[in-house]
Structure 1
Amino acid sequence: MLLVDDEAAILKTLSLLLQEAGWQVRAVAGGMEALNCLDQDIYDLMITDLRMPDLDGLSLFQKAKGKDPLLEVIFISAYADLKSAVQAVKNGAFDYIHKSFTPDELLLTVQKALEHRHLHQENRKLKRALNNRGNFQGMIAKSQEMQELADMVERVAETKATVLISGESGVGKGMVARAIHSLSTGKDKPLVTINCGAIAETLVESELFGYEKGAFTGALRTTPGKFEQAHQGTVFLDEIGELPLASQVRFLRVLQEKVIQRVGGSADLPVDVRVIAATNRNLEARVAQGKFREDLFYRLNVVHLSLPRLSQRKEDIPLLAKRFLGDYAGRYEKNLSEIDLEVLYLFMNHPWPGNVRQLQNTVERAVVMAGPQDRTLRKKHLPRGFAPVDSLAESLNRDLTLRELENLYIDRIMEREKGNKAKVARILDINRQTLYNRLKVN
């Protein structure tokens, strides 16, 4: 939580009480410094004085809510400020306490504010689950891992905090960046994507920051760079770990001072952009190797979103496969509308080293190989040797009823998930009572 007061004694008292109660706090002495903190990090709660010399509490409240609408705010008020404190609560602040507060009064008010924020987050999560059936901003998010990621995306999108997205190739880092932008206050402004690994080292700075006419051979006119193009919107720097060290210095200045200089120019040009970076590398290891600046790493790593491998979110595989089937069946004008149970089983148990991108490519290839009369995607459409034959696949060579095959599949998922019926029901996309009934019959 963030504590704001120009009186050092009150800041110290608040910090000690809240830290002893187990909360992490950051204390600052003025409203402008508090706004800088809100630009750099996410806070659950802000406790602020009403009267401060650089920026009064009400103005800070309005600007802070503009940065993070979910931020809970408690005002510290003197008797002379009581009318302003009451008005602030009417305008959306959580509560106010008098400067002569007791420790118990402070801790109780803080606890209630945090519970209110948690309740709001849970209600939003439930609403999303009811409305989207595992779909979040175009991403499949049925698994617990992706639900937690969706919560973080919603939370960070409403701020201007810099975000670092990490994960293996093919896990969907670009989709997460687009989701953050589409949920942000700058969603109507540009989202400019830059693949740092695809730009020649000699061209990186002119691409990012633009160049003045005559800056180099072929610079026939002044050209704005990606940061200027994204003004008031979002810059997404993919493969940030590939950014050359020389360019990292200039990029660090953009993050720190919000200004750029075009190549060949000397004027500082202000830019207002939200920065999202993504990497499939271990940036901390690259820092240790001297290949990535430590100060830039910490500037980028304000909010870190780590995306799971596809093999860690198996509940999402059937939904992903069905989405890709629909996409490619339409593109290639095929009549496919279903995926055979054996294929789903093979998909669920494949390691997917290439993650979502590999699954997408596999489904596309299978759709291409399907005949014009095929209605169901089957194993014969998959690449030869796609998955090893196991007991379930072997059993499919025998004549089984559909019920026997379903029971065999349920048994295998129950075995894999160690009897966790709630998780098995989510994977099978059936309610828990239906699963219980099937297990009784089985």
Structure 2
Amino acid sequence: MSTPVFLVDDDRQLLRAMAQTLELADFAVTPFASAAEALSQLDRDFAGVVVSDIRMPGMDGLQLFERILGLDPEIPVILVTGHGDIAMAVKAIQDGVYDFIAKPFQSERLIQCVHRAAEKRGLVLENRRLRDVARQAEDDFPLIGQTPVMDRLRQTLRQIADTDVDVLVTGETGSGKEVVARLLHNWSRRAKGNFVALNCGALPEQVIESELFGHEPGAFTGAQKKRIGRIEHSSGGTLFLDELESMPLSTQIQMLRVLELREVTPLGTNEVRPVDIRIVAAAKVDLADPEQRKAFREDLYYRLNVISLTIPPLRERRDDIPLLFRYFAERAARRFQRPAPPLSADILHHLRAHDWPGNVRELSHFTERVVLGMTPGTVAGGSSATDTQPGSLPERLERLEAEIIRETLTAHGGNVQETIAALQIPRKTFYDKLQRHGIVRREFIGGSR
């Protein structure tokens, strides 16, 4: 199939000549005598290239490019320039124009430039297609569960997905807060935009502002290049702020302004940029409770809390646990190229008896270890499974200690500081025990929040 090319020039003679050149090179050319006419035919799914003269009455080529940027910044735009416009065209390339061709030019130069731009556009659309496929695969895991509380949660997500209201999600570590945020994005009309996630507790205070708001070159020491912040990058899509309770106070004040005015000012500039964002925020604590909220601003909490969702922990929906185990087992079997294990009586007993403080994340790690051939007694997170294992008392205590460490690492997503605090042991002792038990901490990092 020929790549479409929109050709824009008010010089009808030159327009015909360029159209003929590109048609002979097997491009599907649509000529336009004005930029406004071409723009009216463009949309985000345009699969081709735009070639435009710069100097035209009404809307010129640069203005057309700016309008296309708002439509889809990844549509390649090639500008045709006169000698006096070259400096202008070079600046336009810095702003995102794909290339420029200076008059007079050889036909081959035009063909090669359009061909390269068409290849780039093809890759962009293929990546989008693959992203859509991945998104559909994610929909195979839409908060798996058949309990009434999960049915209600899915129904609520469907109802509010297209409302564009900001949402506050609360739930324990590993319960699936990011899964909820992604589903709200995927099920909304914002699905074509970016889903941008930021863990507010993972970045130091001096870095988080640059990550959120972006910066200009020279805004601070080490800022050598312009950086688009997460907020601006998520414009048209969804911004997911995880561990909201960890956001520094100074950043909270700035975020309150963003929420109220829907605009952002990058560091190092006075330029105000409007943003079209939807924020889904997640917290591990109940921000409605002043004691748990602590230093978190009350006004920011109420501004974000337009709609509040609570994800129940696994211990409150135990009937879903075997279903989740089967899902994770099949996924792990494909990953490790192992057969999916049957749901044995021992495994089922552990699934029902354990409290799963790490929730879905802990269950996922447990299932992976079962698929790798470890028995429930060597992977379970409680004494009930260990007490039945043979061996001397010191050996059984060693196994129990290893399981407690694994369970605590899982519950805290591999975070060393939180795990040490929960175990109440010195850091050196913690690392000594990891080495003695052969526990690899990085295996516990990540998973569904």
Q: What does 1:329-368 correspond to in 2, within 5 Å? A: 329-368=333-372
* Counterpart in the other structure of 2:384: 387
How far did residue 340 of structure 1 move? Answer: 1.1
Q: Which amino acid aligns with 1:233?
A: G
**Structure 1 residues 289 and 348 mapped into 2: Cα distance closer, same or farther (>3 Å)?**
closer
* Counterpart in the other structure of 2:329: 325
How far did residue 221 of structure 1 move? Answer: 2.0
Runs of 5+ consecutive residues of structure 1 not aligned to the other structure: 1-134, 371-377, 394-442
Q: Distance in 1 between matches of 2:367 and 2:328?
A: 6
Q: Distance in 1 between matches of 2:234 and 2:358?
A: 31
How far did residue 355 of structure 1 move? Answer: 0.9
Q: Which amino acid aligns with 1:251?
A: M
Residues 171, 310 of structure 2: 8 Å contact kept: yes
User: What is the TM-score with the length of structure 1 in the denominator?
Assistant: 0.54
Q: Which amino acid aligns with 1:142?
A: Q
How far did residue 213 of structure 1 move? Answer: 1.2
**Structure 1 residues 294 and 343 mapped into 2: Cα distance closer, same or farther (>3 Å)?**
same
Runs of 5+ consecutive residues of structure 2 not aligned to the other structure: 1-138, 389-449
Secondary structure class of the residue paired with 1:224: coil
**Structure 1 residues 152 and 136 mapped into 2: Cα distance closer, same or farther (>3 Å)?**
farther
Q: 1:258-296 CA deviation, whole Å, 9 max, x = no partner?
A: 001101111111000110000001223357865011110
Aligned-residue CA RMSD (Å): 2.3
* Counterpart in the other structure of 1:222: 226
Q: Distance in 2 between matches of 1:176 and 1:231?
A: 19
Q: Does 1:168 align with 2:151?
A: no
Q: Does 1:303 align with 2:307?
A: yes
* Counterpart in the other structure of 1:267: 271
* Counterpart in the other structure of 2:158: 154
**Structure 1 residues 300 and 322 mapped into 2: Cα distance closer, same or farther (>3 Å)?**
same
Q: Which amino acid aligns with 1:387?
A: S
Query: Which residue of 187, 207, 214 maps to 2:211?
Result: 207
Residues 163, 304 of structure 1: 8 Å contact kept: yes
Q: 1:348-396 CA deviation, whole Å, 9 max, x = no partner?
A: 22111111111111111122235xxxxxxx6456448553599xx9xxx
Q: What does 1:258-297 correspond to in 2, within 5 Å? A: 258-286=262-290, 291-297=295-301
Q: Distance in 2 between matches of 1:386 and 1:369?
A: 20
Secondary structure class of the residue paired with 2:303: helix
How far did residue 156 of structure 1 move? Answer: 1.2
Residues 239, 278 of structure 1: 8 Å contact kept: yes
* Counterpart in the other structure of 1:198: 202
How far did residue 184 of structure 1 move? Answer: 0.6
Q: 1:103-123 CA deviation, whole Å, 9 max, x = no partner?
A: xxxxxxxxxxxxxxxxxxxxx
Q: Distance in 1 between matches of 2:202 and 2:381?
A: 33
**Structure 1 residues 366 and 252 mapped into 2: Cα distance closer, same or farther (>3 Å)?**
same
How far did residue 235 of structure 1 move? Answer: 0.2
Q: 1:135-157 CA deviation, whole Å, 9 max, x = no partner?
A: 87532031111111111111110
Secondary structure class of the residue paired with 1:140: coil
Residues 209, 251 of structure 2: 8 Å contact kept: yes
Q: Does 1:236 align with 2:236?
A: no
**Structure 1 residues 298 and 186 mapped into 2: Cα distance closer, same or farther (>3 Å)?**
same
Q: Distance in 2 between matches of 1:288 and 1:139?
A: 27
- Give identity over the alignment, percent: 38
Residues 209, 225 of structure 1: 8 Å contact kept: yes
Q: 1:3-58 CA deviation, whole Å, 9 max, x = no partner?
A: xxxxxxxxxxxxxxxxxxxxxxxxxxxxxxxxxxxxxxxxxxxxxxxxxxxxxxxx
**Count of residue correspondences:** 251
Q: Distance in 2 between matches of 1:381 and 1:329?
A: 19
Q: What does 1:103-182 correspond to in 2, within 5 Å? A: 138-182=142-186
**Structure 1 residues 289 and 316 mapped into 2: Cα distance closer, same or farther (>3 Å)?**
closer
The 4+ residue runs of structure 1 with deviation greater than 6 A are none
Q: Distance in 1 between matches of 2:240 and 2:348?
A: 34
Secondary structure class of the residue paired with 2:219: coil
Q: Distance in 2 between matches of 1:175 and 1:382?
A: 25
Q: 1:167-210 CA deviation, whole Å, 9 max, x = no partner?
A: 11010001000110000111011000000000111111110000
Q: 1:285-309 CA deviation, whole Å, 9 max, x = no partner?
A: 3578650111100011100000101
* Counterpart in the other structure of 2:318: 314
**Structure 1 residues 389 and 222 mapped into 2: Cα distance closer, same or farther (>3 Å)?**
closer
* Counterpart in the other structure of 2:255: 251
* Counterpart in the other structure of 1:435: none
Secondary structure class of the residue paired with 2:270: coil
Residues 211, 263 of structure 1: 8 Å contact kept: yes
User: What is the TM-score with the length of structure 2 in the denominator?
Assistant: 0.53
